[in-house]
Amino acid sequence: MGRVGVLLLNLGGPEKLEDVRPFLFNLFSDPEIIRLPVTWLQKPLAWFISSSRYKKSQENYKQIGGGSPLRRITEEQAQALEASLAQKGQEAKIYVGMRYWYPFTEDAIAEIKQDKIDHLVILPLYPQFSISTSGSSFRVLEKLWQEDRVLGDNIKYSLISSWYDRPGYLQAMADLIAQQLDQFENPNRVHLFFSAHGVPVSYVEEAGDPYQREIEACTSLIVKTLNRPNPYTLAYQSRVGPVEWLQPYTEDALEELGEKQVKDVLVIPISFVSEHIETLQEIDIEYREVAEEAGITNFRRVPALDTHAGFINDLADLVIDSLNSPSQKFSDVVRPSDQLKMYPQERWEMGITTSAEVWNGRLAMLGFIALLVELFSGKGILHAIGIL
């Protein structure tokens, strides 16, 4: 088999406050995050969004210490995985490749080439596959393999698209949940609240993204593994933009539980295996406030897996299994078509509704495009009235 490497894929995150703006630019430059009808608008739109959002995002990062811990935790996971593999008799070097911040996936591949790796296991740290997470990273790698003959001719790869149903992963999640439940006065009465990162509905309904199906299956498997009588809810967080995302939204579901007089809630971040902004700030601060305002008096969260021994041990088994099994190719992975519509065809409605948000987004996009055209052409209504 030769020299074995494992490439851990993750989102990445700004480590300092001054990193926030360029990180957001990289994020929104990805067409799998925001798809536009014309590609040349992607960078200008990313610049516009990052410029308008970075100060608010910086305030959020200030609340968790001034930067994301994601790189540090991912590197700790890499070290733990390398040690676990060695204990199982499989020598391998572990690499970290982030999609939107350092160390970038391209940097990891350059190091992999330099180390003359013969067989590379590509392992996304997303348990469930989505075209906007694992899929986006896979497409970067596919392009690198197509353009670089050294990769194509010399490095065999094993592609792991998702692993949400792994027994070791499920047991690790169940163990963390049980530890938190037992700290409540009435553990069996606590409402389990699974919160997953959302994706646009169009990805699921039009592009065939299996994410929602895998999230729902994963939730059921964790509950079955836990084997407790607790009621549970699955909701989706972190939506961006005016399009319709998977529902119920986390904030709406929490408010609904409050209306039902639920007092004890344990939040489980099901699509995250590392602590980062969406657990430490969005759940622990923003959603805690939503829950308290809704009347939920005991709001707690299950910690992310990070370097949980059972989780790391299962990842090591997964790597070994993948080395000895037929692998998917990049071309086998689900991807959005060029015709995928990000804006659903809805009738305009009055009030604060999903439809109104969609139409507001369309109007804002048209206005932004008109502004760009006028800036580049030097002609238009703003020039005529003396504003530009």
* Region of poorest pLDDT, from 55-59, 202-206, 317-321, 369-373: 369-373
Helix (H) or strand (E) holding 323: helix 309-323
Of 105, 109, 41, 78, residue with least CA distance to 315: 78
Cβ–Cβ < 8 Å for 238, 251: no
Looking at residue 355, its pLDDT comes to: 45
Provide the pLDDT confidence category of residue 346 given band limits of 50, 70 and 90.
very low
**Which pLDDT score is estimated for 352?**
44
- Cis amide leading into 229 (omega within 30): no
Long-range Cβ pairs for the range 290-293 (8 Å, 24+): 290/251, 290/254, 290/255, 291/254, 291/257, 291/258, 291/265, 293/258
Overall average pLDDT of the 71-81 stretch:
98
Give every CB contact of residue 301 below 8 A, 6+ residues apart in sequence.
Answer: 180, 266, 267, 268, 269, 279, 283, 284
User: 57: part of which helix (H) or strand (E)?
Assistant: helix 42-62
**pLDDT of 48 strictly over 80:** yes
CATH topology of domain 4-164+308-324: Rossmann fold (3.40.50)
Domains 4-164+308-324 and 167-301 share a fold: yes
| Residue among 303, 272, 291 at smallest CA distance from 124 | 272
Q: What is d(CA 375, CA 89) in angstroms, rounded to the nearest whole number?
A: 62
192 — pLDDT class (breaks 50, 70, 90)? very high
Cα 285–chain centre separation: 19
292 is in an annotated binding site: no
Task: Say what the alpha-carbon torsion angle 373, 379, 381, 385 is, to the nearest 10 degrees.
Answer: 140
Q: In this predicted model, what pLDDT tens digit does every residue of 276-297 receive, in sequence order?
A: 999 999 999 999 999 999 999 9
**C-alpha to C-alpha distances, 184 to 79, 187, 266, 340, nearest whole angstrom:** 34, 5, 10, 46
- pTM score of the predicted model: 0.87
Give residue 240's pLDDT.
79
Residue extents of the structural domains in the chain: 4-164+308-324, 167-301, 356-385
Asked: is 167-301 a CATH 3.40.50.1400 domain? The reply is yes
Name the phi and psi angles at 156, rounded to 5. -80, 140
Query: Is 278 annotated as belonging to a binding site?
Result: yes
The per-residue pLDDT for 351 is 45
pLDDT in tens, 235-286: 999 987 778 999 999 999 999 999 999 999 999 999 999 999 999 999 999 9
Residue linked to tokens 């989102």:
11
Q: In 3D, which of 306, 309, 273, 274 has the Cα closest to residue 84? A: 309
Alpha carbons 255 and 243: distance in angstroms, whole number: 22
Q: Which amino acid is at 310?
A: G
pLDDT at 374: 56
Burial category of 173 from C-beta neighbours within 10 Å (exposed 0-12, middle 13-18, buried 19 and up) = buried
In this predicted model, what pLDDT tens digit does every residue of 84-96 receive, in sequence order?
999 999 999 999 9
* Greater pLDDT, 36 or 298: 298
Question: For residue 131, how far is the Cα from the chain centroid?
Answer: 10
